[in-house]
């Protein structure tokens, strides 16, 4: 594998290979004094974040460092981007400076694909860490890893993705990956927060949360992305919370084994009630922990093999 | 393959080096040697931990542990140590899948660790294993047990316990088969 740009292009074998590697890495690091593997010694990983992020950037940085790569963080403020340098020129500069892997987050959908195109004839790998409303593949992989931990296999499991599907790259990446891994996905959202063309996705769509909960093995809540909203998508946050928020009453409608996921950052009291976020069914901190192992696995699959310049 | 004579060459040019019975006897002999060299049956015996290197070192470590328990009455802990992340040739081939790593309860600190592998060849696997061990703790000593030593070392490494010394040419292939993976025990030179 040279790049990780989307879960859409990931087949079942590749996805399972990455998840298995993540499991092994977790096992290899368990209870160790020295949480450092020499595997990527001498390789340079640059994170390029054009949007704010805590967990994804930190998670990639830790992943790279635990595998002994040199990790350099570039953000749009404080770099030449703020002087008007284009994404292409910044990427070519970082490549020329010796980056083996560029991890990019960008507000424009398709930015990572463009980047991979520009770096086509080089050895530099590109990882999409979230591009606009398009994809966020490592988030979907860490969600799948968390669900595998809790539920065993994903084959035949039912997962509901609830909330702002329209603006969510997490939802898109998860729909592809979960279906590839054999799960059945139900999207639950008001019609205003569903993308056009959703009827062609391999999912069931519902506008009503209560009736869906009893049959789910997992519920994934999405943050309402106010920063991407230009119009009125629902009357008020209070109304949204009443109609679609996962509160204590709804938690009881779920089967006992069901897992509650949230990609973060959470808006407690909005899409998820505080008690639910802190309940044993919530796997939100496990998601963050698995995120490091999954990203280590992605770096391993992209960088620890002979070079391919395709 | 009971009918096949040890050392006989079959039509494909494969030569059987150890039969299933030979493998069992060899493992038993190695168990006795480990007991003797580590003075495991003495009152002041050290804590011995057998660490098998996947894939085939892992079941060998389990078998050795069972034999040691049978012969000495002492239980020795065993685990597995995957060395893939410590290899020096990861960038010379396709992505290698990782194998299991499982340390015994209590870890390896101050233990006498015996690394167990099926074939000793260049010594690079053992070099990686020593690096991996170092990240997991500080054993009081490390020894090495291998079923077959086929020569051609590229590093200054030697085994403490050798089941079978087998002179080979570099182009030959030593194949260790174990019940757990291959349905039968045996060692074949191809």
* DSSP structure string for A149-204: HHHS--TT-EEEEES--TT-HHHHHHHHHHHHTT-EEEEE--GGGS-TTGGGSSSE
How far is it, in rounded angstroms, from Cα A50 to Cα A106?
5
Mutate to test the interface with A, among B89, B96, B98, B100 (most CBs of A within 10 A): B98
Question: With bands split at pLDDT 50, 70 and 90, how would you rate the model's confidence at A231?
Answer: low
Residue B37 lies in a domain: no
Residue B11 reports pLDDT greater than 80: no
Task: Check residue A21 and give its pLDDT.
Answer: 98
Domains of chain A, by residue range, sit at 12-135+289-303, 137-285
Residue B189 lies in a domain: no
Put simply, the answer to whether A37 touches B97 (Cβ < 8 Å) is: no
Tokens encoding B110: 């101050």
SS3 A63: helix
The count of domains in chain B is: 1
Task: Check residue B3 and give its pLDDT.
Answer: 47
Q: Tokens 């010796």 label which residue? A: A98
The residues facing A161 across adjacent strands are: A187, A220
Task: Check residue B84 and give its pLDDT.
Answer: 97
Comparing A298 with B6, the larger pLDDT belongs to: A298
Put simply, the answer to whether B92 touches A27 (Cβ < 8 Å) is: no
CB B173 within 8 Å of CB B190: yes
Average pLDDT over all residues of chain B:
93
- Contact of B89 with chain A, judged by CB distance below 8 Å, is answered with no
How far is it, in rounded angstroms, from Cα A78 to Cα A95?
19
Residues in CB range of A247: below 8 A, 6 or more apart: A241, A273, A275, A276
The residues facing B113 across adjacent strands are: B49, B142
**Per-residue model confidence as pLDDT tens digits over A83-128:** 778 889 988 999 999 999 999 999 999 999 999 999 998 999 999 9
Mode of pairing for the β-strands spanning A218-221 and B161-165: unpaired
Question: With bands split at pLDDT 50, 70 and 90, how would you rate the model's confidence at B2?
Answer: very low
Spell out which residues of chain B touch residue A13, defining contact as CB-CB under 8 Å.
Answer: none
How far is it, in rounded angstroms, from Cα A37 to Cα A24?
13
Residue A255 reports pLDDT greater than 50: yes
Overall average pLDDT of the A3-30 stretch? 95
Query: What's the CATH fold of domain A137-285?
Result: Rossmann fold (3.40.50)
**Per-residue model confidence as pLDDT tens digits over B71-103:** 999 999 999 999 999 999 999 999 999 999 999
Return the CATH number at B153.
3.40.50.2020
How far is it, in rounded angstroms, from Cα B46 to Cα B111?
7
**Rg, chain A, Cα only:** 19
Mutate to test the interface with B, among A13, A28, A31 (most CBs of B within 10 A): A28
Residue B189 reports pLDDT greater than 50: yes
What pTM did the predictor assign? Answer: 0.92
- Contact of A310 with chain B, judged by CB distance below 8 Å, is answered with no
Task: Check residue A82 and give its pLDDT.
Answer: 72
Overall average pLDDT of the A17-29 stretch? 96
- Contact of A83 with chain B, judged by CB distance below 8 Å, is answered with no
The ipTM, to two decimals, is 0.87
| Burial bucket for residue B88 (CB in 10 Å: 0-12, 13-18, 19+) | exposed
Put simply, the answer to whether B95 touches A20 (Cβ < 8 Å) is: no
Mode of pairing for the β-strands spanning A44-49 and A70-75: parallel
Residue A129 reports pLDDT greater than 70: yes
How far is it, in rounded angstroms, from Cα A269 to Cα A208?
19
Task: Check residue A254 and give its pLDDT.
Answer: 97
Question: With bands split at pLDDT 50, 70 and 90, how would you rate the model's confidence at B1?
Answer: very low
Average pLDDT over all residues of chain A:
93
Task: Check residue B8 and give its pLDDT.
Answer: 66
Residue B79 lies in a domain: yes
**Per-residue model confidence as pLDDT tens digits over A161-191:** 999 999 999 999 999 999 999 999 999 999 9
- Please tell me if the domain spanning A12-135+289-303 has the same topology as the one spanning A137-285: yes
Overall average pLDDT of the A129-151 stretch? 97
Highest mean pLDDT among A80-84, A89-93, B2-6: A89-93
How far is it, in rounded angstroms, from Cα A159 to Cα A260?
10
How far is it, in rounded angstroms, from Cα A111 to Cα A132?
8
Binding positions of A for L-aspartate are 83, 169, 223
Option in B97, B99, B102 nearest A17 (CB): B97
CATH architecture of the domain with range A12-135+289-303: 3-Layer(aba) Sandwich (3.40)
- List C-alpha distances in Å: B43 to A97, B38, B112, B142: 62, 12, 16, 21
**Per-residue model confidence as pLDDT tens digits over B134-155:** 999 999 999 999 999 999 999 9
Overall average pLDDT of the B4-8 stretch? 60
In B, minimum Cα distance to A66 occurs at: B85
Task: Check residue B14 and give its pLDDT.
Answer: 87
* DSSP structure string for A92-127: HHHHHTT-SEEEEEESSTTHHHHHHHHTTTSS-EEE
- Contact of A41 with chain B, judged by CB distance below 8 Å, is answered with no
Task: Check residue A184 and give its pLDDT.
Answer: 98
Task: Check residue B41 and give its pLDDT.
Answer: 82
How far is it, in rounded angstroms, from Cα B97 to Cα A231?
48
Domain range for B147 is 42-182
From A56-65, B5-14, B112-121, the region with the lowest mean pLDDT: B5-14
Residue A18 reports pLDDT greater than 60: yes
Number of neighbouring beta carbons within 10 Å of residue B94: 11
How far is it, in rounded angstroms, from Cα A41 to Cα A57?
20
């Amino acid at each position: 594998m040279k790049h990780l740009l989307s879960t859409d292009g990931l087949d079942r074998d590749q996805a399972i290979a990455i998840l298995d590697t993540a499991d092994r890495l977790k096992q290899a690091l368990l209870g160790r004094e020295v949480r450092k593997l020499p595997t990527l010694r001498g390789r340079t990983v640059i994170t390029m974040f054009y949007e704010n992020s805590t967990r994804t950037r930190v998670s990639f940085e830790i992943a790279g460092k635990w595998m002994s790569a040199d990790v350099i963080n570039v953000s749009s403020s404080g770099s030449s981007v703020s002087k008007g340098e284009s994404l292409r020129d910044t990427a070519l500069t970082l490549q020329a400076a010796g980056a083996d892997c560029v991890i990019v987050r960008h507000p424009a959908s398709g930015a990572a694909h463009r980047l991979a195109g520009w770096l086509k004839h080089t050895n530099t790998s590109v990882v999409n860490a979230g591009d606009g409303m398009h994809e966020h593949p490592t988030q979907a992989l860490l969600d799948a890893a968390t669900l595998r931990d809790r539920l065993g296999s994903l084959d035949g499991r039912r997962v509901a993705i609830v909330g702002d599907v329209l603006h969510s790259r997490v939802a898109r990446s998860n729909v592809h990956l979960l279906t590839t891994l054999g799960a059945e996905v139900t999207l639950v959202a008001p019609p205003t927060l569903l993308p056009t063309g959703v009827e062609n996705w391999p999912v069931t769509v519902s506008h009503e949360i209560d009736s869906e909960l009893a049959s789910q093995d997992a519920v994934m809540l999405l943050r309402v992305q106010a920063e991407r909203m230009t119009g009125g998508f629902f009357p008020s946050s209070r109304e949204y919370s009443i109609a679609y928020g996962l509160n204590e009453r709804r938690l009881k409608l779920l089967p006992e084994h069901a897992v509650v996921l949230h990609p973060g950052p959470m808006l407690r009291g909005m899409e998820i009630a505080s008690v639910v976020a802190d309940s044993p069914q919530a796997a939100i901190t496990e998601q963050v922990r698995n995120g490091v192992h999954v990203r280590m696995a992605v770096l391993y699959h992209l960088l620890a093999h002979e070079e391919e310049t395709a | 393959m009971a009918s096949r004579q040890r050392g006989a060459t079959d039509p494909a040019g494969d030569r059987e080096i150890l039969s299933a019975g030979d493998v069992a006897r060899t493992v038993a002999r190695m168990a006795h040697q480990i007991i003797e060299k580590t003075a495991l049956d003495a009152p002041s015996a050290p804590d011995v931990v057998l660490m098998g290197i996947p894939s085939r070192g892992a079941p060998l470590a389990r078998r050795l542990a069972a034999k040691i328990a049978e012969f000495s009455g002492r239980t020795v802990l065993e685990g597995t140590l995957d060395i893939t992340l410590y290899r020096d040739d990861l960038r010379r081939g396709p992505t290698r899948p990782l194998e299991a790593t499982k340390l015994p309860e209590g870890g390896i600190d101050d233990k006498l660790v015996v690394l167990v592998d099926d074939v000793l060849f260049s010594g690079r696997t053992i070099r990686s294993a020593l690096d991996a061990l170092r990240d997991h703790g500080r054993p009081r000593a490390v020894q090495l047990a291998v079923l077959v030593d086929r020569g051609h070392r590229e590093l200054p490494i030697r085994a403490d316990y050798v089941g079978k010394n087998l002179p080979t040419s570099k182009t030959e292939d030593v194949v260790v088969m174990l019940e757990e993976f291959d349905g039968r025990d045996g060692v074949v030179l191809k």
